[in-house]
A and B are shown apart, each in its own frame.
Chain A
Amino acid sequence: MKNVKNKAKKVMALSLALMTVGATAACGPQGEDIKGDKTVSYVYVVTRDSGLGTVWMDEMAKKFEERYAEESFAEGKKGVKVIKEALRSLTGAGLVGTLAQDDYDVCMGEAVHYVDYATNNLLYDISDWVTEELSDGSGTIESKLSKEHQEYLKGYNGSYQALPWFTTSNGLTYDAGLFDDKALWFADANGYKPFTTSTYTNKAYTGRGFVTAANTKKSCGPDGKYDTFDDGLPSSYEEFFYLCEYMTENKGVVPFIYTGASEHYLNYLFQALTLNWSGKEDSTTMFTFNSGENEVDVITGFDGDEPIIEGKKITKENGYLSTQIAGKYYATKFMKEMFDNLGKYFYSRSTTGTFSNLEAQTIFINSALEPTYDPIGMLIEGAYWYQEAADALKASEDKYGPDAKNRKFAYMVMPSQETGTVNENEGKSVVVGDGQASHLFINNNIKGDEEAESVVKAFLQMCFEDASLGTVVSKTGMPIAVNYDISKDDYEEMSNYSQSLWDVYSTALKNNSYCTVYSGSKLFLANFPTFKFDTTGWCSYKKGADSYETVRQGVNAGLSAKDYFLGTGISQDDWNRNYGKYEN
């Protein structure tokens, strides 16, 4: 009897052990058996669970399953199935510790520096796939990458191990419908000038005036061209703050709102200001530390409070100067002016540490429709906010009806000069860059598994076909950071805001003013946390024991624009000491 009991115990223990092992080995999301059907091939796609959403993954999965429904990737199998999952941890180096054990095949992460994964041998070498002609005849994936992207992605060991995905042009979103209703556009000529003095310069105002009727011709905007997406927008800092005064003093409009719970979002605006002031060439040196024969406008000192701007060729030896490019100073000055008028220019709860991004979005959306609110002109956010606010937009439509449908929100192009106004053919093309570092990469676990390699390759290559890129852009509203164009149908399917983002991105591509915020410099690759185009680090103040994440914090601490700007740089000594050993 005792023997039988012991045997029963052993059988029970073995069964439990097997059940545990079996369950652990075969379970995917929500505990389901992820590869249960042995008659089809699988690809397991994971994406970052964030404001960028999962729509791209759903669309590509649908397309992939339809396209390969009758194809076989392994003997005895027909068709493909895409397993999809959204992961909160897919940001930065979030999967470094687990990817080797994970079943994921294709990963789309945010804030990803592929070198973090490559040093741990976690990434599959996709060089052959990237340099192969795509089936739609649109070229190779490599041919769609910018030169800087190619250098960055091959910089670690010469092979491709990741690809760029979404590009987010962060900064200001404005309510163009409100600008129409309140006549907040700058007029081309003979505009209305409510004040004689500029609050920005404290001198006589030298910019344009405002439109007085709906049919008044708008100014050419910062790009100096008529009939483009920036017509009627402020073309100088002086005009911008003239508009803020007009909003608050004459129109009952609150210029800005942002989320105090995510203070660093303010640096989305710092990104946009710096890029537009410095232009693509100068901005690129913040990542390459090499301007070639070009001279970059850097601030080498101050005469009182006036910056001394000199043109300098940037090399690895004087790379510290790229942390003091002029655009950063003017971005600081612009933001200081904003926060010197905090109580007047900002929605009152903006600076509260618990005021969330979703609350800010909701109030921005509804402020112009709700009679009890003061309308808000501009939202400081990442370009992805519109997807994130899907529920708030739907609720707004439900409450306010047709007026709330497909609102005229648009990306605001930032000025690149301090005073005066931009006249025809005197402007600069909008400069945008990617502030989110979203990348696609393939798990090295598939290496040696012929079936997985061929399915994943087909999926990845399909994603970079022009039609797929068009679908992703039209469904998500977010451009992909490669060179391509989209169809008229895809464009028309997008919301007003998404069209605005595409207009800006495609214009920057066409005018060669898209700034790829990466480089193949060894110095950059090895010190990514310091030099990445993030919302902290390069644009934050650090001097002695003090550090401030944003200009607002600096203003609170009594810093001038000059002080804050100087605190965002790296000294020659620190440069030599910390980065002298790296090749460029």
Chain B
Amino acid sequence: MHAKGLSAKTKRKMKKLAFYIALISLPILQFLIFYVYVNINSFVLAFQEYDVFTNTAKFAGWNNFIKIYKDLVETGKFAVMLKNSLIVWVWTTLLGIVGAIFFSYYIYKKSPFSNLFRTILYMPHIVSSVVLIVMFKYFVEWAVPSLVETLTGKLIEGLYSNPDTQFVTVVFYCLWMGFGTQVLMYVSAMGGIDASISEAAKIDGITYLKEFWYITVPLVFPTLTTFILTGIGSIFTNQAGLYSFGGKNVPGSMHTFGYYMYVELQKNSANQTAWPMLSALGLLFTFVATPLTFLARWLLGKYGPSVE
């Protein structure tokens, strides 16, 4: 009855609104449940302890943070995880970016075999990461020792089995795996550079390297910034494929923060008594990662290359 009085324009608007609400309600609901609720719950959990027999949680004050200090900091585990996480981050994010950007430039400039390199680098990404790690493990555990034996007659341990080369092997794997994605992104970003800029620079006599430094890098810098900023968060979440390499019991000297969190949750997936401490640890990571990310963003904005 009321609708009869509405103008055609209003009706159209209402229909559009209804469509918009229908479209957006599900993602908003998902965001509210799986982000807002989960994070609030995780925050609350960090200050609680759980009683398995009464199935209830009660306020625990700072106990979970004290437990983190006693179990992780005092024992030195935290320092080892920090060191390993930073090593993985430096190699895969910082040095990885440097290598990937040079390589991308090589491909972008259509240098010899650039398409072949692009295919070789990106090929692993169409295979499941678990399958890829299994293949990689076979390579370092079987192929490398066999090759060494054939060449030298000496029987050596697999690179992953040997404690002296175990971590290096894992870091190399992370670097190799991260490379393909980065190269793809940078090449795409470089492909968007206006060809006339490059041509004008060439007329002015710019060299191959100078073009890279003064034109290409500044123009793809926003993409680079994205990788660096998301990489900071990964210091606390990247498990470096360790679970796929060694399951739940990788030697402690190789643990990263991401691996520790993942494995503890795996081991205690139904043991709710362990969850509060893990929530507290997650909260601590957030407190460190957030300002670090903002600081990095400010630094990159202030000191990064300018397009002008």
Q: Write the residues of chain A forming the contact surface with B, with a CB cutoff of 8 angstroms.
A: 92-93, 96, 113, 115-117, 119-120, 156-157, 260, 263-264, 348, 351-354, 522, 525-529, 536, 540, 542, 544-549, 553, 556-557, 577-578
Task: Judge whether B215 is part of the interface by a CB distance below 8 angstroms.
Answer: no
Q: Are A522 and B138 in contact (CB under 8 A)?
A: no
Q: Which of B55, B70, B161, B252 contacts A352 (CB 8 A)?
A: B161
Q: Are A545 and B161 in contact (CB under 8 A)?
A: no
- B residues 142-183 touching A (CB-CB < 8 Å): 142, 145, 155, 157-158, 160-161, 163
Task: Judge whether B196 is part of the interface by a CB distance below 8 angstroms.
Answer: no
User: Which A-chain residue is minimally distant from B159 (CB atoms)?
Assistant: A353
Q: Are A546 and B252 in contact (CB under 8 A)?
A: yes
A-binding segment of B185-193, B265-273, B298-306: B265-273
Please measure, in the bound complex, the distance between the C-alpha atom of A160 and the C-alpha atom of B253, giving whole angstroms.
Answer: 42
Task: Judge whether B211 is part of the interface by a CB distance below 8 angstroms.
Answer: no
Q: Are A92 and B270 in contact (CB under 8 A)?
A: yes
User: Which B-chain residue is minimally distant from A528 (CB atoms)?
Assistant: B271
- B residues 20-79 touching A (CB-CB < 8 Å): 52-53, 55, 67, 70, 75-77, 79
Please measure, in the bound complex, the distance between the C-alpha atom of A578 and the C-alpha atom of B276, giving whole angstroms.
Answer: 13
Please measure, in the bound complex, the distance between the C-alpha atom of A260 and the C-alpha atom of B246, giving whole angstroms.
Answer: 11
Q: Which of A116, A157, A348, A528 contacts B155 (CB 8 A)?
A: A348
- B residues 113-167 touching A (CB-CB < 8 Å): 134, 137-138, 141-142, 145, 155, 157-158, 160-161, 163
User: Which residues of chain A have C-beta atoms less than 8 A from B157's C-beta?
Assistant: 351
Distance (whole angstroms) from the CB of B20 to the closest CB of chain A:
21
A-B contact pairs, 14 of them (CB 8 A): A92-B269, A96-B269, A96-B270, A260-B161, A351-B158, A529-B274, A536-B249, A544-B76, A545-B77, A545-B79, A546-B251, A553-B163, A553-B251, A577-B70
Distance (whole angstroms) from the CB of A531 to the closest CB of chain B:
12
A545-B249 contact given A93-B269, A353-B137, CB 8 Å threshold: no
Q: Are B253 and A546 in contact (CB under 8 A)?
A: yes
User: Which B-chain residue is minimally distant from A553 (CB atoms)?
Assistant: B251
Q: Are B142 and A352 in contact (CB under 8 A)?
A: yes
User: Which A-chain residue is minimally distant from B63 (CB atoms)?
Assistant: A577
Q: Which of A117, A522, A577 has the most CB of B within 10 A?
A: A577
Q: Are B252 and A542 in contact (CB under 8 A)?
A: yes
User: Which residues of chain B have C-beta atoms less than 8 A from A578's C-beta?
Assistant: 67
Task: Judge whether B86 is part of the interface by a CB distance below 8 angstroms.
Answer: no
Please measure, in the bound complex, the distance between the C-alpha atom of A578 and the C-alpha atom of B155, giving whole angstroms.
Answer: 46
Main secondary structure on B side of the interface with A: helix
Task: Judge whether B248 is part of the interface by a CB distance below 8 angstroms.
Answer: yes
Please measure, in the bound complex, the distance between the C-alpha atom of A264 and the C-alpha atom of B246, giving whole angstroms.
Answer: 10
Distance (whole angstroms) from the CB of B36 to the closest CB of chain A:
21
User: Which residues of chain B have C-beta atoms less than 8 A from A115's C-beta?
Assistant: 52
A545-B76 contact given A96-B269, A529-B267, A529-B274, CB 8 Å threshold: yes
Q: Are A116 and B270 in contact (CB under 8 A)?
A: yes
A263-B158 contact given A156-B53, A526-B53, A545-B79, CB 8 Å threshold: no
Q: Are B269 and A119 in contact (CB under 8 A)?
A: no
Q: Which of A526, A527, A545 contacts B252 (CB 8 A)?
A: A545
A351-B249 contact given A119-B52, A527-B273, A577-B70, CB 8 Å threshold: no
Please measure, in the bound complex, the distance between the C-alpha atom of A549 and the C-alpha atom of B269, giving whole angstroms.
Answer: 20
Please measure, in the bound complex, the distance between the C-alpha atom of A525 and the C-alpha atom of B53, giving whole angstroms.
Answer: 9
User: Which A-chain residue is minimally distant from B273 (CB atoms)?
Assistant: A526
Please measure, in the bound complex, the distance between the C-alpha atom of A177 and the C-alpha atom of B215, giving whole angstroms.
Answer: 76
User: Which residues of chain A have C-beta atoms less than 8 A from B53's C-beta?
Assistant: 156-157, 522, 525-526
A545-B251 contact given A119-B55, A529-B268, A553-B163, CB 8 Å threshold: no
Q: Are B161 and A353 in contact (CB under 8 A)?
A: yes
Task: Judge whether B80 is part of the interface by a CB distance below 8 angstroms.
Answer: yes
Other A-B contacts than A119-B270, A546-B253, 9 sampled, CB-CB below 8 A, are A92-B270, A93-B270, A96-B269, A353-B246, A354-B134, A528-B271, A544-B76, A545-B77, A549-B249
Please measure, in the bound complex, the distance between the C-alpha atom of A549 and the C-alpha atom of B246, giving whole angstroms.
Answer: 11
User: Which residues of chain A have C-beta atoms less than 8 A from B163's C-beta?
Assistant: 553, 556-557
Distance (whole angstroms) from the CB of B153 to the closest CB of chain A:
14
Please measure, in the bound complex, the distance between the C-alpha atom of A221 and the C-alpha atom of B158, giving whole angstroms.
Answer: 39
Q: Write the residues of chain B forming the contact surface with A, with a CB cutoff of 8 angstroms.
A: 52-53, 55, 67, 70, 75-77, 79-81, 134, 137-138, 141-142, 145, 155, 157-158, 160-161, 163, 246-249, 251-253, 255, 267-274
Q: Are B161 and A536 in contact (CB under 8 A)?
A: no
User: Which A-chain residue is minimally distant from B139 (CB atoms)?
Assistant: A354
Q: Are A352 and B80 in contact (CB under 8 A)?
A: no
User: Which residues of chain B have C-beta atoms less than 8 A from A553's C-beta?
Assistant: 163, 251
User: Which residues of chain B have C-beta atoms less than 8 A from A525's C-beta?
Assistant: 52-53
Q: Are A353 and B253 in contact (CB under 8 A)?
A: no
Q: Are A544 and B270 in contact (CB under 8 A)?
A: no
User: Which residues of chain A have C-beta atoms less than 8 A from B70's C-beta?
Assistant: 577
User: Which B-chain residue is minimally distant from A157 (CB atoms)?
Assistant: B53
Distance (whole angstroms) from the CB of A264 to the closest CB of chain B:
6
User: Which residues of chain B have C-beta atoms less than 8 A from A548's C-beta?
Assistant: 251-252
Q: Which of A113, A263, A527, A549 has the most CB of B within 10 A?
A: A549
User: Which residues of chain A have C-beta atoms less than 8 A from B138's C-beta?
Assistant: 354
Please measure, in the bound complex, the distance between the C-alpha atom of A544 and the C-alpha atom of B268, giving whole angstroms.
Answer: 21
User: Which residues of chain B have C-beta atoms less than 8 A from A119's C-beta?
Assistant: 52, 55, 270, 272
Please measure, in the bound complex, the distance between the C-alpha atom of A540 and the C-alpha atom of B158, giving whole angstroms.
Answer: 23
A545-B75 contact given A353-B141, A354-B141, A577-B70, CB 8 Å threshold: yes
Please measure, in the bound complex, the distance between the C-alpha atom of A403 and the C-alpha atom of B176, giving whole angstroms.
Answer: 50
User: Which A-chain residue is minimally distant from B267 (CB atoms)?
Assistant: A529
Distance (whole angstroms) from the CB of B145 to the closest CB of chain A:
8
Distance (whole angstroms) from the CB of A552 to the closest CB of chain B:
10
Please measure, in the bound complex, the distance between the C-alpha atom of A556 and the C-alpha atom of B253, giving whole angstroms.
Answer: 13
Q: Which of A351, A529, A540, A546 contacts B271 (CB 8 A)?
A: A529
Q: Are A544 and B75 in contact (CB under 8 A)?
A: yes
A545-B248 contact given A119-B52, A526-B53, A529-B271, CB 8 Å threshold: no
A-B pairs with lowest CB-CB distance, top 8: A93-B270, A547-B252, A116-B270, A549-B249, A545-B80, A545-B76, A545-B77, A354-B141
Q: Are B158 and A352 in contact (CB under 8 A)?
A: yes
Distance (whole angstroms) from the CB of B80 to the closest CB of chain A:
4
Please measure, in the bound complex, the distance between the C-alpha atom of A413 and the C-alpha atom of B155, giving whole angstroms.
Answer: 34
Q: Are B161 and A351 in contact (CB under 8 A)?
A: yes
Please measure, in the bound complex, the distance between the C-alpha atom of A119 and the C-alpha atom of B52, giving whole angstroms.
Answer: 7
Please measure, in the bound complex, the distance between the C-alpha atom of A349 and the C-alpha atom of B141, giving whole angstroms.
Answer: 10
Q: Are B142 and A354 in contact (CB under 8 A)?
A: yes
Please measure, in the bound complex, the distance between the C-alpha atom of A260 and the C-alpha atom of B141, giving whole angstroms.
Answer: 10
Distance (whole angstroms) from the CB of A508 to the closest CB of chain B:
29
Q: Are B274 and A549 in contact (CB under 8 A)?
A: no
User: Which residues of chain B have C-beta atoms less than 8 A from A351's C-beta?
Assistant: 157-158, 161
Q: Which of B52, B246, B270 contacts A526 (CB 8 A)?
A: B52
Please measure, in the bound complex, the distance between the C-alpha atom of A275 and the C-alpha atom of B272, giving whole angstroms.
Answer: 30
Please measure, in the bound complex, the distance between the C-alpha atom of A529 and the C-alpha atom of B264, giving whole angstroms.
Answer: 10
User: Which residues of chain A have C-beta atoms less than 8 A from B267's C-beta?
Assistant: 529
Q: Are A544 and B161 in contact (CB under 8 A)?
A: no
Q: Are A264 and B269 in contact (CB under 8 A)?
A: no
Please measure, in the bound complex, the distance between the C-alpha atom of A250 and the C-alpha atom of B53, giving whole angstroms.
Answer: 59
User: Which residues of chain A have C-beta atoms less than 8 A from B155's C-beta?
Assistant: 348
User: Which residues of chain B have C-beta atoms less than 8 A from A264's C-beta?
Assistant: 247, 249
User: Which A-chain residue is minimally distant from B274 (CB atoms)?
Assistant: A529
Please measure, in the bound complex, the distance between the C-alpha atom of A529 and the C-alpha atom of B274, giving whole angstroms.
Answer: 10
User: Which residues of chain B have C-beta atoms less than 8 A from A352's C-beta?
Assistant: 141-142, 145, 158, 161
User: Which residues of chain B have C-beta atoms less than 8 A from A540's C-beta?
Assistant: 249
Q: Are B251 and A549 in contact (CB under 8 A)?
A: yes
User: Which residues of chain B have C-beta atoms less than 8 A from A263's C-beta?
Assistant: 246, 249
User: Which residues of chain A have C-beta atoms less than 8 A from B160's C-beta?
Assistant: 353
User: Which residues of chain B have C-beta atoms less than 8 A from A545's C-beta?
Assistant: 75-77, 79-81, 252-253, 255
Distance (whole angstroms) from the CB of A324 to the closest CB of chain B:
18
